[in-house]
Amino acid sequence: MRVLIADDDPVTVQMLSAVLRGAGMEVVTALDAMQAFMAAIRTPPDVMLLDIQMPGGTGVGVLRRLRASAKTSGLPVIAITGTASDEVKAETKELGAVDCLEKPLDLRLLVEMVRGAGGSKASG
Protein backbone atom coordinates (compact mmCIF):
# COMPACT_ATOMS: atom_id res chain seq x y z
CA MET A 1 0.00 0.00 0.00
CA ARG A 2 1.30 3.44 -0.98
CA VAL A 3 0.65 6.37 1.38
CA LEU A 4 1.25 10.06 0.63
CA ILE A 5 2.01 12.10 3.75
CA ALA A 6 1.50 15.84 3.25
CA ASP A 7 2.62 17.92 6.24
CA ASP A 8 4.88 20.95 6.55
CA ASP A 9 6.45 19.74 9.82
CA PRO A 10 9.52 17.60 8.97
CA VAL A 11 9.44 15.94 12.41
CA THR A 12 5.83 14.83 11.91
CA VAL A 13 6.62 13.60 8.40
CA GLN A 14 9.62 11.64 9.68
CA MET A 15 7.66 10.07 12.54
CA LEU A 16 4.65 9.13 10.41
CA SER A 17 6.93 7.77 7.67
CA ALA A 18 8.76 5.55 10.15
CA VAL A 19 5.52 4.23 11.66
CA LEU A 20 3.87 3.50 8.31
CA ARG A 21 7.01 1.94 6.81
CA GLY A 22 7.27 -0.19 9.95
CA ALA A 23 3.71 -1.35 9.20
CA GLY A 24 4.86 -2.46 5.73
CA MET A 25 3.64 0.52 3.70
CA GLU A 26 5.39 2.48 0.97
CA VAL A 27 5.58 6.18 1.88
CA VAL A 28 5.83 9.30 -0.30
CA THR A 29 6.03 12.76 1.29
CA ALA A 30 5.17 16.36 0.45
CA LEU A 31 6.00 19.41 2.57
CA ASP A 32 3.51 21.95 1.22
CA ALA A 33 0.10 22.11 -0.40
CA MET A 34 1.34 22.41 -3.99
CA GLN A 35 3.75 19.46 -3.63
CA ALA A 36 0.92 17.44 -2.06
CA PHE A 37 -1.47 18.09 -4.92
CA MET A 38 1.16 17.46 -7.61
CA ALA A 39 2.35 14.21 -5.99
CA ALA A 40 -1.23 12.94 -5.70
CA ILE A 41 -2.00 13.76 -9.35
CA ARG A 42 1.30 12.40 -10.70
CA THR A 43 0.96 8.99 -9.04
CA PRO A 44 -2.22 8.68 -6.96
CA PRO A 45 -1.49 6.89 -3.67
CA ASP A 46 -3.78 4.35 -2.04
CA VAL A 47 -4.32 6.75 0.90
CA MET A 48 -3.29 10.33 1.67
CA LEU A 49 -2.60 11.87 5.08
CA LEU A 50 -3.24 15.59 4.60
CA ASP A 51 -2.30 18.31 7.07
CA ILE A 52 -4.88 21.10 7.09
CA GLN A 53 -2.47 23.99 7.74
CA MET A 54 0.42 24.11 5.29
CA PRO A 55 2.30 26.73 3.31
CA GLY A 56 1.32 27.19 -0.31
CA GLY A 57 -2.39 26.67 0.39
CA THR A 58 -4.55 24.87 2.91
CA GLY A 59 -5.21 21.18 3.17
CA VAL A 60 -8.88 21.95 2.58
CA GLY A 61 -7.90 23.65 -0.69
CA VAL A 62 -5.87 20.59 -1.70
CA LEU A 63 -8.80 18.34 -0.83
CA ARG A 64 -11.13 20.47 -3.00
CA ARG A 65 -8.70 20.22 -5.94
CA LEU A 66 -8.30 16.47 -5.47
CA ARG A 67 -12.08 15.99 -5.53
CA ALA A 68 -12.34 18.09 -8.71
CA SER A 69 -9.87 15.88 -10.60
CA ALA A 70 -11.15 12.67 -12.18
CA LYS A 71 -7.80 11.05 -11.37
CA THR A 72 -8.08 11.65 -7.60
CA SER A 73 -11.78 12.25 -6.93
CA GLY A 74 -12.09 8.96 -5.02
CA LEU A 75 -8.74 9.10 -3.23
CA PRO A 76 -9.16 8.23 0.47
CA VAL A 77 -7.87 11.22 2.47
CA ILE A 78 -7.34 11.36 6.22
CA ALA A 79 -7.06 14.99 7.33
CA ILE A 80 -4.71 15.77 10.23
CA THR A 81 -4.41 19.02 12.13
CA GLY A 82 -3.04 20.62 15.25
CA THR A 83 -6.10 22.83 15.63
CA ALA A 84 -9.27 21.23 14.34
CA SER A 85 -12.32 23.39 14.84
CA ASP A 86 -15.70 21.74 14.45
CA GLU A 87 -16.10 23.82 11.28
CA VAL A 88 -12.88 22.42 9.74
CA LYS A 89 -13.82 18.86 10.71
CA ALA A 90 -17.26 19.30 9.14
CA GLU A 91 -15.78 20.80 5.97
CA THR A 92 -13.25 17.98 5.50
CA LYS A 93 -15.99 15.38 6.02
CA GLU A 94 -18.24 17.23 3.57
CA LEU A 95 -15.42 17.03 1.00
CA GLY A 96 -15.22 13.28 1.52
CA ALA A 97 -12.32 12.90 3.95
CA VAL A 98 -12.30 9.58 5.81
CA ASP A 99 -11.80 11.51 9.06
CA CYS A 100 -10.13 14.60 10.54
CA LEU A 101 -7.69 13.68 13.31
CA GLU A 102 -6.10 16.04 15.81
CA LYS A 103 -2.42 16.02 16.69
CA PRO A 104 -0.90 14.45 18.69
CA LEU A 105 -2.03 11.40 16.74
CA ASP A 106 -2.79 7.99 18.18
CA LEU A 107 -0.37 6.12 15.92
CA ARG A 108 -1.96 2.70 16.35
CA LEU A 109 -5.36 4.09 15.42
CA LEU A 110 -3.82 5.95 12.47
CA VAL A 111 -2.23 2.77 11.07
CA GLU A 112 -5.56 0.93 11.38
CA MET A 113 -7.39 3.82 9.71
CA VAL A 114 -4.87 3.96 6.84
CA ARG A 115 -5.15 0.20 6.31
CA GLY A 116 -8.95 0.40 6.33
CA ALA A 117 -9.06 3.37 3.94
CA GLY A 118 -6.55 1.78 1.57
CA GLY A 119 -8.43 -1.50 1.64
CA SER A 120 -11.64 0.23 0.63
CA LYS A 121 -9.88 1.77 -2.40
CA ALA A 122 -8.24 -1.49 -3.38
CA SER A 123 -11.57 -3.27 -3.48
CA GLY A 124 -13.32 -0.51 -5.43
- Whole-structure pTM value: 0.93
Return the pLDDT at 121.
45
Summarize pLDDT for 45-57 with one digit per residue, the tens.
999 999 998 888 8
CA–CA–CA angle 57, 63, 64 (5° rounding):
90
Q: What is the rounded CA–CA span in Å between residue 90 and residue 102?
A: 13
For residue 122, give the H/E element and its range.
Answer: helix 107-122
CA quadruple 64, 68, 74, 75: dihedral sign: negative
Question: For residues 52 and 23, what is the distance between their CA atoms, to the nearest angstrom?
Answer: 24
Provide the pLDDT for residue 120.
54
Question: What integer is the mean pLDDT of 96-121?
Answer: 90
**Residue ranges of domains in the chain, CATH in brackets:** 2-115 (3.40.50.2300)
Q: Residues 10-23: what's their mean pLDDT?
A: 97
Q: What is the pLDDT of residues 51-108, one digit of tens each?
A: 998 888 889 999 999 999 999 999 999 999 987 688 888 899 999 999 999 989 999 9
What's the sign of the alpha-carbon dihedral 68, 7, 31, 123? negative
pLDDT of 42 over the 70 cut: yes
